[in-house]
């Protein structure tokens, strides 16, 4: 569940990731969207829209749990999109990203022809090779699926490559690495993750996250000082106040980020339930909204085995 949001952030911040994955030269002007087709309540994870109607539109889905009706839904979404937006592109290509081959559905009937055609590219992250040999953006994808024991080493490697290769959007990449590790090691603070990755204080200060928090803390301190009429230039005390403010706001930002992530996971679970069973009773929706992140992730993995909403209630009762 968390990976869906992380992949969305990766594609939104670094849309060249898809083309790195496909081994294509990075075209200019592509726009990344997550598109809802409201007529049937379908949603495609990622649509890479070409800058002009002569280009190719790319459909991308990230599939980390087995769904034996996945291709039925995916191709239905694609062809509905083609019908609705035909004037905006000349050709189309579909990409599905799996952690491994075991996650893919067992039977392709009656879509064998499409699945095995050049229209569809299936990517298995565990078969792409070592992070040292991959583009940085693809290495970030792999980082999301690594076990905890391997993640610190690979995360440090990617951080070092970001600095050593003078990568474009290096601050964005560092923030993504940190966020991915934070979601894996939930008991660590952001500062502890940065130390684990070998980031220095100066590198932290160059990130957008730090700059925004620092600016807010400093502005708040100055405003309070003016209100109280204390305009003395006591740099030591001001620095101490700013440092305290930064720590407080860092904690607040991380808490809000985690809360936003949890809300996103709730919405994804509810959307999957509606796809399978239609409307979801308000009582059930309320119980799902109060689940912990770990419970939400477990429910997302279990719901493909449910045959009706009673099974969902039974699972919630067991979890409680």
The whole-number average pLDDT for the span 145-151 is: 85
Tell me, yes or no, whether 260 lies in a domain.
yes
The whole-number average pLDDT for the span 183-187 is: 78
Which of the listed ranges 50-64, 212-226, 237-251 does the model predict with the highest average pLDDT? 50-64
Q: Same structural domain for residues 14 and 85?
A: yes
The whole-number average pLDDT for the span 256-283 is: 72
Q: Same structural domain for residues 221 and 192?
A: no
Q: Same structural domain for residues 195 and 215?
A: no
pLDDT of residue 216: 52
Q: Same structural domain for residues 173 and 91?
A: no
Tell me, yes or no, whether 141 lies in a domain.
no
| Domain range enclosing 109 | 2-132
Torsion of the alpha carbons at 202, 204, 209 and 212, rounded to the nearest 10: -20
Q: Same structural domain for residues 173 and 250?
A: no
The model scores a pTM over 0.75 = no
Q: Same structural domain for residues 220 and 103?
A: no
Using CA atoms, how far residue 65 sits from 78, 217, 276, in Å, is 20, 42, 15
- Which CATH number does the domain housing residue 63 bear? 3.40.1350
The structural domain count of the chain equals 3
Domain boundary among 206, 229, 254: 206
**Residue 261 CB coordination number (10 Å):** 19
Q: Same structural domain for residues 252 and 152?
A: no
pLDDT of residue 4: 67
pLDDT (tens digit, 9 = 90+) per residue, 113-124? 999 999 999 999
CB 194 within 8 A of CB 207: no
pLDDT of residue 206: 60
Tell me, yes or no, whether 112 lies in a domain.
yes
Tell me, yes or no, whether 137 lies in a domain.
no
**pLDDT top residue among 58 and 42:** 58
Q: Same structural domain for residues 7 and 102?
A: yes
Tell me, yes or no, whether 139 lies in a domain.
no
DSSP state of 86: G
pLDDT of residue 242: 46
Specify the range with the lowest mean pLDDT, choosing from 29-33, 53-57, 113-117.
29-33
Q: Same structural domain for residues 82 and 105?
A: yes
Torsion of the alpha carbons at 140, 141, 142 and 146, rounded to the nearest 10: 90
Q: Same structural domain for residues 201 and 215?
A: no
Of 134, 171, 131, the residue nearest 152 (C-alpha): 131
The whole-number average pLDDT for the span 294-317 is: 81
CB 94 within 8 A of CB 120: yes
pLDDT of residue 40: 47
Task: For residues 316 and 319, give the distance between their C-alpha atoms in angstroms, rounded to a whole number.
Answer: 5
DSSP state of 69: T
């Amino acid at each position: 569940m968390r990976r869906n949001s992380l992949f969305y952030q990766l594609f939104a911040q670094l849309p060249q990731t898809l083309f790195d994955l496909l081994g294509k030269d990075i075209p200019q002007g592509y726009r990344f969207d997550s598109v809802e087709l409201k007529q049937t309540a379908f949603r495609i994870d990622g649509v890479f829209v070409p800058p002009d109607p002569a280009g190719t539109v790319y459909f991308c889905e990230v599939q980390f749990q087995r769904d034996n009706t996945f291709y039925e839904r995916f191709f239905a979404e694609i062809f509905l999109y083609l019908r609705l937006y035909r004037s905006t592109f000349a050709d189309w290509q579909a990409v599905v990203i799996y952690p491994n081959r075991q996650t893919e559905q067992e039977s392709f009937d009656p879509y064998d022809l499409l699945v095995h055609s050049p229209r569809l590219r299936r990517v298995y992250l565990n078969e792409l090779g070592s992070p040292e040999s991959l583009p940085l953006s693809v290495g970030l994808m792999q980082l999301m699926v690594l076990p905890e024991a391997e993640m610190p080493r690979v995360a440090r490697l990617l951080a070092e490559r970001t600095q050593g290769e003078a990568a474009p959007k290096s601050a964005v990449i560092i923030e993504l690495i940190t966020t991915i590790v934070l979601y894996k090691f939930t008991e660590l603070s952001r500062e502890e993750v940065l130390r684990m990755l070998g980031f220095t204080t100066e590198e932290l200060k160059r990130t957008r996250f730090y700059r925004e928090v620092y600016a807010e803390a400093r502005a708040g301190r100055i405003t309070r000082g003016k209100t109280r009429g204390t305009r003395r230039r006591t740099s030591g005390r001001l620095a101490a106040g700013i440092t305290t403010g930064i720590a407080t706001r860092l904690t607040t930002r991380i808490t809000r980020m985690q809360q936003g992530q949890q809300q996103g996971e709730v919405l994804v679970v509810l959307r999957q339930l509606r796809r399978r069973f239609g409307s979801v009773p308000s009582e059930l929706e309320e119980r799902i909204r109060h689940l912990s992140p770990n419970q939400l992730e477990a429910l997302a993995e279990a719901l493909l085995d449910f045959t009706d909403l009673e099974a969902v209630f039974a699972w919630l009762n067991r979890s409680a």
